[in-house]
Structure 1
Amino acid sequence: SYWAPNIFGHDALTALAIVGREVPRIEIGTSVVPTYPRHPIAIAQQSHTVNAVSNGRLCLGIGLSHKVVVEGMLGLSYDKPVRHLREYLSILMPLARCEAAKFAGETLTTRGSLSGVGSSPFSVVVAALGEQMLRVTGTLADGTLTWCTGPKTLQALTVPTINEAAKIAGRPAPRVIAALPVCVTKDVVKAQEFAAKAFVIYGQLPSYRAMLDHEGAAGPADIVIAGTAEQVKQRVADLAGVGVTDFAAVEFSSDPDEIAATRDAMKSLI
């Protein structure tokens, strides 16, 4: 799988339309598209287009972003984010299955359907971290895509919460896609120092800060996967034992040779 970020640069879905056309076979996904700026019908329409271009290989990853972005940059209300996610998925999921959506909520309303040449269902995962978000996601969506969430938290919080919610809802076992920084290196301390600077912002955002606190980590540098190729591969493999179904490697280093070594190590796990 290839996961395209959607932060303040290129639009991930637009980029994946090109990637999906040029790169065959692999799954392509967004990590993640913010929900607040786009109505679920709009994001479903764009996703169906990308899914058609890529012959049904899209996994749409969505997330609520952060209060500082939604209110500070966009001027929108971040009130009751759990309600927002529930209403958003209540509209998006039928549309993702190529069904009509009919829903009237407190903040979102839809009555309609989409049709397009080559449309087929696409899966939806949510950047759900906290317990309430995980329960909504397990009930309605196809899985979660985590970031800054270490193995202890994945085992104790993420996996059991989302699995229980899916089971109660009568849904298939959800995907748990864990994204973590990875570096094959001979100098772990140097790698952690680099990570502390590169990922410093994530330790300051409340949703990620909560996951780091749950893990007992002072900052993002404490949850990176760094070491020799064998050490890195073993730590990635160990995630399956706590219930992670997919791993998304976020390579980091200032050394091109370490980036290449990290990529080689990850390729060997496929």
Structure 2
Amino acid sequence: MTRWGLTVPLPGVSLPDHADIVRALPDLGYTDLWSAETNGTDAFTPLALAASWEPTLRLGTAIVPAFTRGPALIAMSASSLAQAAPGRFVLGLGASSPAIVEKWNGLAFDQPFRRTRDVLRAVRTALAGERVDGEFDTFSVSRFKLDGPPAEPPPIVLAALRAQMLKLAGREADGAILNWLASYDVAQCLAEVANPDAEVVARIFVCPTEDVEYARNVGRFMISSYLTVPAYAAFHDWLGRGEVLRPMHEAWAAGDRKAALAAVPDDVVDDLVLHGSPESCRDQVQAYAAAGVTTPVLALVPTPDGPPTLELLRRLAPEGA
């Protein structure tokens, strides 16, 4: 079964104003809500609200950073949501980025692979109702045990870029979360996950407008902001876009933001930020499912038409839903 997710909060919609939208989503064909955590809402609050508004949608975090909370606090928050939405919560963990961890939270972004692996192991142990006690590579925990763990521990999926983290997601987690990739990149990632039972979640940026110039301008801004982050730059080198993105990286490193924007090729924008009519966007998202993504999650990008409406969400939903 291919699920169909939506990233919340939606652009331009306040948290309280999501209530009626969330209640309508199952009838439109959506199965999942996935949160994000950058510089807006935290990962858990939108899902806690959704759990109280609608009793069937699956809820997932994409992602909770492995650095900005301790493993015990992550386990407590995940346990709370798993109890609020029994059998309907998925914990997504990831390394996040130096900007979020260091510049915004004043923490050292050291050994991101090991930190994410250690948090995964500690949190999984805690959610199973077991005591976490001992030394990990990147931290130590002394005798932590959840008081009243969830009856059904939630699955844990890892945000993964490149081979090492993708392999960890397939080996020790319940799946992987992919981000900032084209549908034809999925196969390369799945080859590293190497687990046919793993869930594969992909956050897919969707700008549902037929104003191509507008969509490409927004896409260039997003790409020059995100893909210049070292982890994403390395990811796209690994995917084979190193040469086509080199002019953007060189202009960005020189401090010329305008030149960096102009250097992003149209075909890269079109591959990574889907645009067109809602029906065209829906079909482009379906290509990810055809490539092996089990849970495509739409991340809507603001358009000139204002905040998303239920009619727009209906047109973006799977055909026949």
Query: How many angstroms apart in 1 are the aligned matches of 2:226 and 2:108?
Result: 22
Q: 1:133, CA displacement in angstroms?
A: 1.0
Match of 1:189 among 190, 213, 235: 213
1:169 corresponds in structure 2 to: none
Q: 1:147, CA displacement in angstroms?
A: 1.5
Aligned sequence identity (%): 27
Match of 2:281 among 232, 255, 261: 232
Residue 148 of structure 2 is aligned to residue 116 of structure 1: yes
Q: 1:5, CA displacement in angstroms?
A: 1.3
Q: Greater RCO between the two (CA within 8 Å, min separation 6)? A: 2
Q: How does 1:98-137 map to 2 (within 5 A)?
A: 98-110=129-141, 111-116=143-148, 119-137=151-169
TM-score, normalization by structure 1: 0.86
Q: 1:258, CA displacement in angstroms?
A: 8.8
Per-residue CA shift, 1:62-120, capped at 9, x if unaligned?
21111233233333332222121221212112223334434422222234321327543
Provide the aligned C-alpha RMSD in A: 2.4
Compared CA separation, residues 69 and 253, structure 1 to 2 (3 A): closer
Residue 302 of structure 2 is aligned to residue 243 of structure 1: no
Q: 1:19, CA displacement in angstroms?
A: 1.7
Q: 1:20, CA displacement in angstroms?
A: 0.8
8 Å CA contact 2:95–2:113 kept in 1: the answer is no
1:253 corresponds in structure 2 to: 302
2:10 corresponds in structure 1 to: none
Classify the secondary structure of the residue corresponding to 1:24: coil
8 Å CA contact 1:88–1:108 kept in 2: the answer is no
Per-residue CA shift, 1:36-85, capped at 9, x if unaligned?
12121211111111111123311111211112332333333322221212
Compared CA separation, residues 138 and 182, structure 1 to 2 (3 A): same
Query: How many angstroms apart in 1 are the aligned matches of 2:100 and 2:209?
Result: 34
Q: How does 1:1-270 map to 2 (within 5 A)?
A: 1-110=32-141, 111-116=143-148, 119-156=151-188, 158-162=189-193, 164=194, 166=195, 173-198=197-222, 200-213=224-237, 214=239, 216=241, 218=245, 219=264, 221-222=269-270, 223-256=272-305, 259-260=308-309, 262-269=312-319, 270=321
TM-score, normalization by structure 2: 0.73
Q: How many residues align?
A: 262
8 Å CA contact 1:91–1:103 kept in 2: the answer is no
Per mean C-alpha deviation after superposition, the further-off stretch among 190-199 and 33-42 is 190-199
Compared CA separation, residues 117 and 123, structure 1 to 2 (3 A): closer
Q: 1:262, CA displacement in angstroms?
A: 4.6
